[in-house]
Structure 1
Amino acid sequence: MINYTKSGNGPALLLIHGFCESLEMWTHWIPTLAQTQTVFAIDLPGFGKSPLIEPSVSLESTAVILQDWLEQEGITDPIIIGHSLGGYVTLALAELMGITIKGIGLFHSTAFADTEEKKHTRNKTYQFIEKFGVEKFIDSFVPPLFSEENRKKNAQEIELLIQEGRKSSKEGVLAYILAMRDRKDRMDVWRNFPNPKLMIAGYNDMAVSIEHSRMHEAHAQFYHELPHAGHMGMFEESETTLQFLQNFLKQV
């Protein structure tokens, strides 16, 4: 079962959150987006109020689950926007569904597979959570997602994300760590997807380097860098990021 919210009228827009997040991260944008779109914000299986359907997770299996959900809900020709892990899922959906998706957007995400260094970090994170649990991990995980210059300004958003992240099930968090670690490179999917593509990158993103983000620019009709953002541009530079998204939606 996929937990979701539906708002507005117009072409379908699907918003997919990132790791240890939930649909709540989009709520400050939904009233504006719903003026022109039918906005669906979902909880990925294992996060928020969506139960983990299977004990092991892959991006491919998650994409199949979401494709089935789209069909069940009668959602056709969606535009799909994914943040971080949600971007990985977006690319898996693009590979699965092709041109039936009207456009895709990656927020602070990448089409590349994990480097060996990143895989090592995922393994350490897995071991930490096995030993100490989700809550202790979340408390240290969320603040560095924001650029250091924004942590005081965004203290309320950081606290809300921590509270939401603490609700994540240990089984779901561990399953997605392995899914992210073992995901394949989808740069060919990004390069060859024929419909409009948006990428938003944070100059100070510690999770997805700006150098890696720039390697996607040649294949994106809409590419934007946020000079004062880390990994959470929808909060750190909210109005600017929302305007970029609205411009993309108008063109699609």
Structure 2
Amino acid sequence: MTPKFLFFRSSRIQYHVVGEGEPLLLVHGYQADSRIWEKMVPLLKEHFMLIIPDLPGHGQSPLIQATNDMDFLADVLYSIILSGGHSGISIAGHSMGGYAAMAFADKYPNLTDRLILLNTHPFEDGMNKMLARNREAEIIQEGKKEILLRNFVQNNFNRSSSNALKEEIQLATQIALSQPENGMLADLAGMMARKPRIELVQKKRLQADFILGMADSRIPIKFFEQLNKELVNIHWLADCGHMSMLEKPAEVAEIILKL
């Protein structure tokens, strides 16, 4: 894929465009960049124009500010969409990318055709999660990023399938290790500061679909018992952890194509 660039607040943001059809923005999460979607691209590019950015502080896009708060990331996505001249777009966001996608839909509802939310949720961080993120930030600041990430990435995958997913785990680990420390710290600060989007995803006018792993250790199933099932579509993937686009790419693509 040939990279494209735009300038946002005097910083160069990199993104890729591949395929033809209705635009679909693929937004990566924490510890990742646009490469995390590589198994999804061949499954979707014949049906969509895929727009795949590196968020600030990830991949080839430099960090712009100390906190990657979700409204700021929504503005970055808006600039990318505007540069392509799109009047409406569907957004698929993974994990933190889902938080950014929900912030975009909240801020730019008239541009949002559909939300596809992979391994993410609309709730704010609880106290235990905030404590865990703060401890994670401390480990990064202590220069122990590699130790942290090798354990963290492994635990993102369904443990019972880890032997069959060695290639995918290696890819995710390589991508995570290549992310700059300042970007990771900005993400952690932004995720802790985010607000809940429960009302947003339950709005009748918004088409919101969650794609979730039954074996996702990061997101308890009980979270989704709080949502109105008549207003939110939830697609469960068996034997899948937190990395659905790497663990079950064909199943994820099938769900997206049916929406």
Separation of aligned partners in 1, 2:87 and 2:97: 19
State the identity as a percent.
Answer: 27
Residue by residue over 1:217-245, the C-alpha shift from the partner in whole angstroms, topping out at 9 and shown as x without a partner, is 62555321112111112222222222111
Where in structure 2 are the equivalents of 1:1-252 lying within 5 Å? Answer: 1-192=12-203, 194-216=205-227, 218=229, 220=231, 222-248=233-259
Tell me the amino acid that sits aligned with residue 61 of structure 2: S
Residue by residue, what CA displacement relative to the aligned partner does 1:184-228 show, whole Å, maximum 9, x if unpaired? Answer: 111111112623211111111111111113434625553211121
Alpha-carbon distance in 2 for matches of 1:87, 1:218: 19
TM-score by length of 2: 0.91
Unaligned segments of structure 1, at least 5 residues: none
Paired residue type of 1:116: M
Distance in 2 (alpha carbons) for counterparts of 1:37 and 1:214: 32
Runs of 4+ in 1 over 4 A off after TM superposition: none
- Say if 1:4 and 1:41, in contact at 8 Å, map to a contact too: yes
* Unaligned segments of structure 2, at least 5 residues: 1-11
State the number of aligned residues.
Answer: 248
Match of 2:4 in 1: none
Range with greater deviation from structure 2 (200-209 or 186-195): 186-195
Give 1 or 2: higher helix fraction. Answer: 1
Distance in structure 1 (CA, Å) of the matches to 2:126 and 2:206 = 28
Question: Closer, same or farther in 2 for the Cα pair 1:172/1:193, shift >3 Å?
Answer: farther
The CA RMSD over aligned residues, in Å, is 1.5
Q: CA offsets per residue over residues 135-188 of structure 1, 9 Å max, x none?
A: 222111100000111111111111111111111111110111011112111111
> What amino acid is the match of 1:127?
E
8 Å CA contact 2:65–2:186 kept in 1: the answer is no
TM-score (norm 1): 0.93
